[in-house]
Chains A and B, each alone.
Chain A
Amino acid sequence: MLQELYQEVILDHSKSPRNSGVIDEPSHQAEGFNPFCGDQVKVMLIVDEGLIQEIRFSGQGCAISQASASMMTQAVKGHTVAEARDIFKTFHKAVTEDDEPDIDVLNELASLCGVKAYPSRIKCATLAWHAMEEALENHA
């Protein structure tokens, strides 16, 4: 059962996260906390003319939150802010609602849908996303 939650692609992202690290002079940034377990993530972006040129994250957390942050950076980089928000909407639906996930939009992110069966872990999967959304709102 838990093999479904912890698919290979998730383990891979959590062990070697993509775009982890800091951006020295981000145009947007925000931090997310999960007070329940202490997970913490900081998302930094460089947005230029509505386009996400660069995105990185730092922090620590469980495999789900790390993998989700890593996949998120890949999914939104090179997209517009509006597109990034749409991807988050699609992702959020996929990890909270029962409908079939939109694989075309989500790609690897669809592997995180397993958290639906573990309600206490959904916040882990969405932590970095909420931080990104806040970053984009605060300083856009």
Chain B
Amino acid sequence: MSLPSSIRCQFPALQQEVNGRPLVYLDSAATSQKPQRVIDAVSNFYETSCANVNRGAYELGRRSTNLYEGARTLLQEFIGAEHSEEIIFTKGCTEAINLAANSWSAEYLEYEDVILVSEMEHHANIVPWQMAAERHGARVIPIPVTFDCEIDLDQFESLLREEPVKMVAVKHICNATGTINPIEQIATMAKEAGSAVMIDGAQGLAHQRVSVKDLPIDFYAMASHKAYGPMGIGALYGKREVLRELPPYQGGGDMIRAVSFEDTTYRKPPGRFEAGTQNPADAAGFAEALRFISEVGVEALHQHETEIRIAAEKMLQDAGADIVGSPKEKAGIISFVLPRIHPHDFSTFSDQLGAAIRTGHHCCMPLMSSLGLPGTARVSLAAYNSIEDLNVLIEAIESARRIFA
């Protein structure tokens, strides 16, 4: 494989046994494991720099604020944003989408407007829009997905033509099928129709390079924990002109300029959207994870995962599995079903052999119903995986088939 196997050694959680077998972690789309340097960055914060951000005028406060703002600048550079104020820290991708859905909708969404979300969206990019639609009397309409598990661009075009579309919300990479969506094309089409655009980048950060300033999008939502970083932190990228017009998401300390009972005024972005005590510890870990990804290289990661994916798909098919979807552009994620074996039964077989895979609907119930599947088994790859990891899965398939055949 294109990445050295020594990378695996940097991940302490991978050095253990499960059910008497070496742990084989194949669920990185749910959350990736963390390299030691990320774990150290988080604990180092608590050991040396623990203070509230933007508050204490003393040394620890300065360190904490520097780590936090340093992470912001690093993320800005990492995703190619023009200004650091375009990065709002949140507790995860879900909160990032909720923030946009709330604040953007409060400013722009009107009665009978339409929000388009693709049928393959994660519940996190459906439900916040449904809730916003309900508040404003707007409608959420799904963009159909083809049998190959790609967004149906013809149908998308018709919807843009026929409906008063104000927002198009789609994911960058599909956590259930691995589809890499043509976000630039989708965003361009949406903009030509006068719509705003939200990209759910939960699966994007560690797998596809983006340059948000070159994309005609309003928002890009991210999670640190799916990109080798700690849980509990994520971010929303929003174009400066867009963020400046939006009302706050939550009220509290830090997001205000001045508070009085006559007139409270808010800070400029990003502060306006970051109410209360922030999470500099995990921001420091997030930054360290971005450094890790940069050193390995997003392209190298994608190539590594692609090589394993292609070999793995063949192995799985030879073992009798049906791969779900065949999009032209695909990340290191494979969904498959086994004839006569329910995915949930299969996961017990793989768990028994020390392999961690995800089974079920992957928080994409509308996609599963449109594919007519109760769920799938999913393998998702990261830097530390190798093709040998797949041998265990094949062993699990064989032992499941001995019982279910």
Contacts and interface: CB of A to CB of B under 8 A. Distances in A.
B403 A64 contact: no
Given A64-B345, A118-B348, A121-B348, A2 B399 contact: yes
Interface in A9-33: 11
Contacts of B224: none
Interface stretch (B100-108, B178-186, B360-368, B379-387): B360-368
B375 interface: yes
Contact of A11 (B348, B399, B403): B403
Nearest to A6: B403
Given A3-B403, A6-B403, A37-B375, A62 B360 contact: no
B352 A2 contact: yes
A63 B399 contact: no
Contacts of B343: 37, 62
B345 A1 contact: no
A39 B361 CA distance: 9
Contact of A62 (B344, B365, B368, B399): B344
Given A1-B352, A2-B352, A61-B374, A37 B344 contact: yes
Interface in B332-349: 342-345, 348-349
A120 B349 CA distance: 12
Contacts of B351: 120
A50 to B, nearest CB: 35
B147 interface: no
Given A37-B375, A38-B374, A2 B348 contact: yes
Nearest to A115: B348
A3 B365 CA distance: 31
Given A2-B403, A3-B403, A60-B374, A37 B360 contact: yes
Given A36-B360, A38-B360, A62 B403 contact: no
A5 interface: yes
B359 interface: yes
Contact of A61 (B342, B352, B399, B404): B342
Interface string A112-123: 000000101100
Interface string B369-403: 00000110000000000000000000000010001
A40 B359 CA distance: 15
A138 to B, nearest CB: 24
Contacts of B344: 37, 39, 61-62, 64-65, 121, 124
A49 B374 CA distance: 37
Contacts of A64: 344-345
Interface in B290-339: none
B27 to A, nearest CB: 14
A20 to B, nearest CB: 15
Contacts of A38: 360-361, 365, 368, 374-375
B375 A63 contact: no
A60 B344 CA distance: 11
Contact of A63 (B342, B360, B365): B342
Interface string A56-75: 00001111110000000000
Nearest to B348: A118
A64 B341 CA distance: 11
A40 B352 CA distance: 25
Interface in A102-120: 118, 120
B387 to A, nearest CB: 25
Contacts of B361: 37-38
**Most A-side CB within 10 Å, residue of B345, B352, B399, B403:** B345
Given A11-B404, A62-B342, A121-B348, A37 B399 contact: no
A123 B218 CA distance: 42
Nearest to A60: B374
Contact of A37 (B349, B359, B403): B359
B299 to A, nearest CB: 35
Interface of B: 342-345, 348-349, 351-352, 359-361, 365, 368, 374-375, 399, 403-404
15 contacts: A2-B403, A6-B403, A11-B403, A37-B343, A37-B360, A37-B375, A38-B365, A38-B374, A60-B374, A61-B342, A62-B343, A63-B345, A65-B344, A118-B348, A121-B348
Given A38-B375, A60-B374, 15 more contacts: A2-B349, A2-B403, A5-B348, A37-B359, A37-B360, A37-B361, A37-B375, A38-B365, A39-B344, A61-B342, A61-B374, A63-B345, A120-B348, A120-B351, A121-B348
